[in-house]
A and B are shown apart, each in its own frame.
Chain A
């Protein structure tokens, strides 16, 4: 069988001048590489250390590295065809590591893979297969970039073309080696062609986005450790990302790791509706800043390379971070830029100030009197939490003050009573702090978190169930900086656990033309919490589930997150309208939601569509329809 494998031809002997030439060229190549890479590396290392970063336990990091880098899982899953092509190129590079090493060693007579030997032949054959695959893949990717031109890849760049050409040449010169007789001069020529291509490639790496070859494996390995993880502030002078001096090593590393694939941009709801924000440009902007000003600069980050307006158009939906195959974590960066503007008072927005002032003086983000909440509780005879009940039912600002939010709460209350699960609502509740946390107001957030934690400890709350995924996320994750929050879950998780009891009596169909139900995954329940199936189980109680084109981890934001629900009119198309149109286009008669913000946003958007728009219901309302009227 061995003899069936073609043999790679290699020059047997190199002249002294060839060796000298190679050494000189290699030297120049390495010098060219280092001249560019050195400063980049030092900019990353000169950046501030990340407070709270823990390398160990490394198990999770290793697993993530294997999955995302070695197996290219994210790259393939989110853009299958192009992703697989890239994976082939990457795997080819991995396999070629030894080939390349051997190739360079050969000129000094130190080759360690014998093309005639058993190991050598097998290895070279495998490499050849990969080379072939790589050639096809790179050609395909070239066609995609230069002929099809998808818009999120941005403008055509000559460097992409050059790199493609170099890779193609590398593979071609390697493969050609199988078809050339061992003695011919062509073998030497091929060797030099391959070597020169390699030496030309090396210095190009740090000059182009192909820097990701070196950096993104590190980015993936050295990630913050959890999705949309906002780092703590450290010390009295830390206000977030204000100037270059605030850029940390992780941020700088990630800024240089961007491959400009545009997946973040493709899935960004702000970008999709004509806003200025483009997550890719935010990251590349940081890179531009570092290149021009460096990590010790006092130049504001929101200035030449990034705009304040763009930073405040983000809903923190996390689609960008979720999609990124290079390990870039966009959400902490955007929140960091916002912190820099808000914690220093540089952000001067009328609605934003109003929101902050409302929470400075009062208890809720809507600026309403707590009397409203008290009256709601009284009117509906909701029990107050006194330490004896199993659950504390957290109302949140929307559940306590918004008419739609209240309906969701009341539906959940009916269900909990039916299930004979004891619960109580807090006498006084302050906003969980989600909007101010995402907008970067650390002063207010600390005040709210500490005040709430104290109240919960005082009432000895052990378990919380809430209708709002934003509250759930903030309580479970963000409050951890200031204390130990009680267990908290979203009502979809609670209901799913009790689903058998909710099937009997069965939930009636919601009406003629309403047999099909489309569930909209809230950002803070889906991507942030990984809960996709539980709410679907509940929604499916009343009909047949259909899926929107963008669902589960690709769900398209309703537009309210990141504090934007409180910031007034948006520019361009309304995110909520775009999503509502997508949901309506599924032909479903009912849109099932699981977040009071999504509920409110879609209520308006569907009303604008007029009669004939699908009905909007929260999953709690769907489940409650099965209960008899007395309850």
Chain B
């Protein structure tokens, strides 16, 4: 079974984000980077499928030079090979543009299954996987927690709203976008890192892939949201405080 996992390198969760002087993205100097967490779960699912059914896992990632570190991490965790789409202007492309890049690199690989993360921790669009499926002509499912191989293809467990789930069957080849938390991530090991050194890591440029398209949507400006996180202590008698709290939970936090 040949599985391709599309992964993205994003600013680490802990990173202090500042708006760049240009105003249309964050300042990337001194930023620490990490593998997008849903993508890490996609990779884990792929590795578990490989361990169960034999096969090959190849990761694909688009981005500048620094993305190579995240790709090597994926190799260290157990992927067999990798394709780095070297691209310095990823931010200038929209979801369709990025998906076209990935599709161009993935199509010749002729995979049985393509896994992506549900959405990225920076842009959070949640679309690249779905568009990629459309471009590759593959059936797809999103928000998947678990992938199981069956005779007629795969059976996946999908998360629905409010604690409901659904299972979906589809033939291979197919594309699935993975939600975080469906499986337990494995840690990087010394053995994995040592083995990764000998694995196949190919670099291809966006130009070589022949993908170029003017974006349909562009991110024009970044701004800080008006409210910063701080603790609001609600005062007054127990009844007053309770009423105020319920009001806040309804209208401000919108969790009721």
Contacts and interface: CB of A to CB of B under 8 A. Distances in A.
Interface string B181-192: 000111111111
A134 to B, nearest CB: 51
Contact of B189 (A233, A345, A350, A363): A345
A607 interface: no
Interface in A222-267: 233, 236-237, 239
A356 interface: yes
Contacts of B187: 345, 352-353, 356-357, 360, 441, 444
B34 interface: yes
B185 A357 contact: yes
A590 B114 CA distance: 62
A344 interface: yes
B14 A362 contact: yes
Interface string A91-126: 000000000000000000000000000000000000
Interface string B176-202: 000000001111111111100000000
B190 A442 contact: yes
Interface string A429-469: 00000000000011110000000000000000000000000
A345 B192 contact: yes
A443 B14 contact: no
Interface string B98-131: 0000000000000000000000000000000000
Residue of A344, A350, A357, A441 most packed against chain B (CB within 10 A): A357
Given A350-B184, A353-B186, A345 B191 contact: yes
A344 B34 contact: no
A478 to B, nearest CB: 16
Contact of A361 (B12, B190, B193): B12
Contacts of B188: 356, 360, 443-444
Given A353-B184, A353-B186, A360-B187, A369 B193 contact: no
A362 B13 CA distance: 8
A120 B184 CA distance: 76
Interface string B31-45: 000100000000000
Q: How large is the interface on A (under 10, 10 to 19, 20 to 34, 35 or more residues)?
A: 20 to 34
A594 B12 CA distance: 34
Interface string B2-17: 0000000000111010
Contacts of A237: 194
A343 interface: yes
A617 to B, nearest CB: 29
Given A350-B184, A353-B184, A361-B34, A370 B190 contact: no
Contacts of A442: 190
A210 B176 CA distance: 64
B189 A443 contact: yes
A442 B189 CA distance: 8
A372 to B, nearest CB: 10
Given A361-B13, A369-B14, A343 B189 contact: yes
B158 to A, nearest CB: 24
A444 B67 CA distance: 20
Contacts of A360: 187-188
Contact of B190 (A357, A371, A443): A443
Given A362-B12, A363-B14, A369-B14, A342 B189 contact: yes
Interface in A31-67: none
B39 to A, nearest CB: 13
A442 B194 CA distance: 12
Given A239-B191, A356-B188, A441-B187, 12 more contacts: A236-B194, A239-B190, A343-B191, A345-B189, A345-B191, A353-B185, A353-B187, A361-B14, A362-B12, A370-B14, A441-B189, A441-B190
What 10 A-B pairs come out closest when comparing CB atoms?
A356-B187, A343-B190, A443-B190, A345-B189, A344-B191, A442-B190, A370-B14, A353-B187, A361-B34, A369-B14
8 contacts: A239-B190, A345-B192, A353-B184, A361-B13, A362-B13, A363-B14, A441-B189, A443-B189
